[in-house]
Amino acid sequence: MRELLDYLATWPEDGRYQSHTIQKINGGANNILYKVCGTEGNLAVKFTLRDGRRRAWREFQALQAVQSHGLTTAPEPILLDETSYPQPVVVQSWLAGEVTAVPPQTDADWQKLVQHYVTLSQMTPENMGVALETAVVNFNGIQNGLLQIQQQRARIPPENQPAQLKELVTWVENLPQTLPLAQLALCRVDANSLNFIRRPGAWASVDWENSGWGDPAFEIADLATHPQYLDVPAERWDWVANLYAELCGEETAVLRIYTYTTLMLIWWVARLARALYEIPHGLDERLVPRDPDWHQQARQKLTHYTKSAFTAISK
């Protein structure tokens, strides 16, 4: 394993190393991922961006947590090394199944996706002995949501902040702090449809580098506001929220999902405004080069989320 990691740490292109077939998997912005196929099985080897988030550690811990509950809905954790290479690395089993950017198209597939989140919501600090930190992005109450929106906004100089963002933040500041807090549970924190492994039976998921403790209902709001799902009709999200609440048996889940969805639309306005400021100033590090059209794409998304946020707060 060590010789294999030494070789992969040079970031080779597709090919072979000894008896292994090496395939570089594109798509992630903050990691370099390889599929390694050998006689002993297939592995995923992931080198992550080194930052205060401890991405590789978070992923390894989350995979251990899922495994400790006897679940097969995430890869098997095999190795974590945060010190031997310029980028931390986590090794895990490779999960077979269908991966697509297209959101679920049938009630049955939507139910499998929702059930995946419901299963994770059963893993709490009280029934799990694996160390986890707070999820990277997760709201538990309105005040916590406001704090995380403000954290994004604080990264932008006042003169570069869109006026509409200031108006949206003021709206959140004036919200009554009446949302009930939730029992903390394991949250994935990355709703990208490419992270879900579609297969017979229970779906699985990969890419846990932002995971941690949080309000599990927030995961549905994160799903509903993720860029990959912008074309999903509103009535589907009503269906998803009610199904999630029914399967979890939580009376306040729907209220929390709807509230967090509005807050996440505003969070996205702040996050995109931050990106439009930071990237030209070299302040947004990543391991993979950006799309040449990133600026236009970010502008289009900012327009979309701003419009959606004002629609939501006017209801």
Could you tell me the residue ranges of all domains in the chain?
2-93, 107-313
3-state secondary structure of 154: coil
- For the domain bounded by 2-93, which CATH number is listed? 3.30.200.20
CATH superfamily of 107-313: Aminoglycoside phosphotransferase (APH), C-terminal lobe (3.90.1200.10)
Q: What is the pLDDT of residue 239?
A: 98
- Quick check: 71 and 45 in contact, CB under 8 A? no
- Output the pLDDT for position 212: 97
User: Would you report the helix, strand and coil content of the chain in percent, each value rounded to 5?
Assistant: 45, 15, 40
Dihedral angle over CA of 172, 177, 179, 182, nearest 10: 100
Whose CA is closest to 104, among 233, 6, 262, 5?
A: 233
| Token representation of residue 123 | 């893993």
Residue among 211, 70, 64 nearest 130 (CA): 64
For residue 306, what pLDDT is reported? 98
Please tell me the predicted confidence (pLDDT) of residue 17: 93
Give which of 95, 46, 60, 41 is closest to 204, Cα–Cα.
95
pLDDT reported for residue 263: 98
Supply the pLDDT for residue 314.
94
Separation of alpha carbons 188 and 12, rounded Å: 29
∠ CA 72-74-80 to the nearest 5 degrees?
120
In a 3-state reduction of DSSP, which class is residue 79? strand
Q: Cα Rg for the chain, rounded, in angstroms?
A: 20
Is beta strand 196-197 parallel, antiparallel or unpaired with respect to 204-205?
Answer: antiparallel
CATH topology agreement for domains 2-93 and 107-313: no
Please state whether 31 falls in left (phi above 0), alpha (psi between -120 and 50) or beta: beta
Per-residue model confidence as pLDDT tens for the chain (315 residues): 999 999 999 999 999 999 999 999 987 789 999 999 998 899 999 999 999 999 999 999 999 999 999 999 999 999 999 999 999 999 999 999 999 999 999 999 999 999 999 999 999 999 988 999 999 999 999 999 999 999 999 999 999 999 999 999 999 999 998 898 899 999 999 999 999 999 999 999 999 999 999 999 999 999 999 999 999 999 999 999 999 999 999 989 999 999 999 999 999 999 999 999 999 999 988 888 898 999 999 999 999 999 999 999 998
pLDDT of residue 122: 94
**H or E segment and range at residue 113:** helix 107-121
CB-hemisphere CA count at 13 Å for 158? 0
Q: What's the pLDDT score for residue 128?
A: 87
Decide: helix, strand or coil at residue 185: strand
Whole-number pLDDT of residue 27: 77
In sequence order, the β-bridge partners of residue 271 are none
